[in-house]
Structure 1
Amino acid sequence: MPGLFSRRLLAAGAFALAAATAPLAAASAEEMNLIISSALPQKHMWVGQHMDPFADRIEKATDGRIAFDRYYAGELVSVGREYDGLTGHTIDVSAPFLAPYQEGIFPLSDVSQLPTLGTDSPMITRAFQKLLDSDVALQDGKTFYQLELTDNGLVGWPLGASQPYAISTTGKVLDDPSDFQGLPARAGATLHVIGVEQLGATSVYMPAAEAYEALSRGTIEGILLSIGDWRSYSVQELLKYTITGINMGSWESYLAIRQDTWDEMPDDLKKVWDETARQAALDNAAYVVKQDEIMIDEAKKDYDARFVDVKTLSPEMQAHMAQAATNTWKVWIDKMEEQGEPGLATARLWAKLITAEGGQLPDGVEKILQ
């Protein structure tokens, strides 16, 4: 069956004898061919700078006992279909597993997209790994990891989180709260839809891969996206105005493998995999920070893009955007609770992890969390 382990074992008779006398030794002799898939192209920060380096390190560290057949740019599974690809055994590993696009299945995984202050990719990445490692019960005695991953038959690790999301337009200047009214802007997840609407713009839900055509045709005039991600979707030539310093949250995603695949992996390989995945996420985060800086310089030089720090805008505009950030927390928490999800407990834990990393919460959020 496609996607299942392809095992090249020792001769059948020798393996049977080894299994009867030393099962751990037999298990360690196995070789595993895994299909690893990305719906994104290799130029994306989560593919060329995470999926490939991760796979390379695993193959080298295991002396080829784990080998990957690699697929890119939706060759096997398209954006938003990663869960179907895993559960349907089309693929073994999804990198990245874009949980926010899996509508209704991973509702709490949006939490990293809550607006924060003074955070960057490494901080969000570390906090998200601690969220996955946390033993704090959020609902029915279950942790975040159990609710989002275990209950869905998956094992997962963070990627390097995106840098803070910013609001950009194809040219429309946003220097007054009224300028958001009627602005059709792309949002790619539930929390981003909330954030865009709290700003007063009209949210248009779509994967980032569809943004270029929508921006080119004028279907949307604005987009919520991390600046470093522009090149991944070729939108850098289209975006002319960006408000920086507002941190509309960071997108996190998973490196995900099916639970049954993980369960069949020998313990020594699990250890190598876990250690490699954790380090790959941190390395990826460091790259993401540099990518943002490079993209800003390139956009200014080659495309006459304008970047405006929110602190230079009017007091009314600053207050409006700050209130939108605070409201985003409240609306998301309320929405999750209405759906029977532990939104408040999750937000409280995330806030604790973020502040422990040195990040800050928008004014008023602490009161909401009480």
Structure 2
Amino acid sequence: MKKNLIILMFVSLFVLMVAACSGGGSEPSNSEGASNEGNDSGEAANTGETIKLRVATGLSEQHGWWQGFMVPWMDRVEELTDGQVQFEGFAGGELVEVVQEPDALKNGTADVAILIPFYHENLFPASSITFLPVSFTDEFISGDALNKLMESDVALGDTGKTYYESHYGDNGFKTWALNAGAVYSISTTGHEFNSVDDVKGISMRTPNLLFELMAKNMGVNSVSMNIVEAFDALNRGAFEGIFHTVADWTGAGFQDLLTYTIDDLFLGSSNGVFAMTQETWDSLPSNVQDAMNQAQQEMYENGIQEWVTRAEETRAYNVEEAGGQFISFLDLPEDVQQHITEANVKTWYDYIDFLESNGNPGKEIAILWRDLLIEAGGDVPDELMNLEDY
């Protein structure tokens, strides 16, 4: 009898082991079993239950960051995870208004969102750094420099933190570069810059504090507002022009309003990022994290090309349909060129002073951005090559 009891115990134990190995038909949770091991194709394996994420922006559905990057990025992540991740996209303020995105991520309204960091300089104090005016850049140069700025391991200031750590990590965000957008210039509803007096005294929309400094140095009256509000204001004549990029005119409806643009005036580039909270990121399986990183890397240059294509199409439309004209900066009167160039150089120093007066390592960040931009193929005025001595 004792022998039979022992045999029965072994049989029962064996049955329990078989049941445990089979998993009982249940799916693993989001944090379990996420691995790419054994996946020779390099694509993320579908190792967990479906993950549904809300992606939001206050920008329009036609905006280059949404249409040219976020939508393809979402599609690629879904493909890489074999449908394990499913996105629900909300654009045009349907879920979140422009400037509300950081709060929306923090309170759970959205899981992923486009951030416009230079609209939130209290959170991201040096995020306007990419707008510093230079002698030459383009979309790919600025985009390359932005990516390297986000990935830089250079310790800045007394804290010894990198740009990414001080701006995004410390705020609880996992963040990727979208791209640097397109190069900014000056456009007006017809006001021409034929003399220095034509520059001084006009009113122009400025997107952030750095452009307010730039406008002041040029003698331009600054009207600060976000791009969504700027169309109505420009249409009713609240100001004569804007600091903006031709590539984004259609996203804001400017293509029929602006008829005079200064070409070859490289007033830096915007910088878009998209983010989730670090808590959300940490909750995702590693195969999903890998897929998101891979998709960002694959989509990055395509997102930049979107701006190049938009700029070409918008320029052609503006000239042919709206009577617009594009004037090279080098064809402006020499005193106008000199006035604007001196204002641009002074803007670098003013921005450094502003950052440092608020406890941020202004000179170090400016030097880092200058060097990254030059490394990527851009150029700056000679006066800025001795920033180390400032």
- TM-score over 0.5 (shorter chain): yes
1:228 matched to which residue of 2? 247
1:14 deviates by 5.6
Asked if 1:185 corresponds to 2:204, the answer is: yes
TM-score (norm 1): 0.92
1:238 matched to which residue of 2? 257
Letter in 1 for 2:273: Y
1:103 deviates by 4.0
SS for the counterpart of 2:99 is: coil
Tell me, yes or no, if the aligned pair for 2:146 and 2:179 is still in contact at 8 Å. Answer: no
Letter in 2 for 1:153: G
Tell me, yes or no, if the aligned pair for 1:326 and 1:363 is still in contact at 8 Å. Answer: no
Tell me, yes or no, if the aligned pair for 1:79 and 1:101 is still in contact at 8 Å. Answer: no
Q: Which runs of 5+ in 2 are unaligned?
A: 1-21, 36-45
Asked if 1:145 corresponds to 2:154, the answer is: no
Which of residues 333, 337, 340 is equivalent to 1:314? 333
Alignment of 1:118-129 (within 5 A): 118-129=136-147
1:218 matched to which residue of 2? 237
Which of residues 345, 349, 365 is equivalent to 1:346? 365
1:57 deviates by 0.9
SS for the counterpart of 2:175 is: strand
The percent of aligned pairs where both chains have the same amino acid is 33
Find the aligned partners of 1:123 and 1:46 in 2 and give their Cα distance. 17
Structure 1 residues 88 and 219 mapped into 2: Cα distance closer, same or farther (>3 Å)? same
Alignment of 1:69-80 (within 5 A): 69-80=88-99
TM-score (norm 2): 0.87
Find the aligned partners of 1:175 and 1:40 in 2 and give their Cα distance. 35
1:100 matched to which residue of 2? 118
1:6 matched to which residue of 2? none
SS for the counterpart of 2:344 is: helix
Find the aligned partners of 1:215 and 1:362 in 2 and give their Cα distance. 32
1:306-335 CA-partner distances (Å, limit 9, x unpaired): 111010111111111111111111111110
Alignment of 1:346-365 (within 5 A): 346-365=365-384
1:362 deviates by 2.1
Asked if 1:336 corresponds to 2:345, the answer is: no
2:152 matched to which residue of 1? 134
Tell me, yes or no, if the aligned pair for 2:81 and 2:287 is still in contact at 8 Å. Answer: no
Alignment of 1:245-324 (within 5 A): 245-324=264-343
Q: Which runs of 5+ in 1 are unaligned?
A: 1-10
Compute the RMSD of aligned alpha carbons: 1.9
Residues paired across the two proteins, number: 356
Find the aligned partners of 2:152 and 2:74 in 1 and give their Cα distance. 26
SS for the counterpart of 1:91 is: coil
1:344-370 CA-partner distances (Å, limit 9, x unpaired): 111111111101011001231122343
SS for the counterpart of 2:239 is: coil
1:34-62 CA-partner distances (Å, limit 9, x unpaired): 11001111111111111111111111111
Moved more, 103-112 or 247-256: 103-112
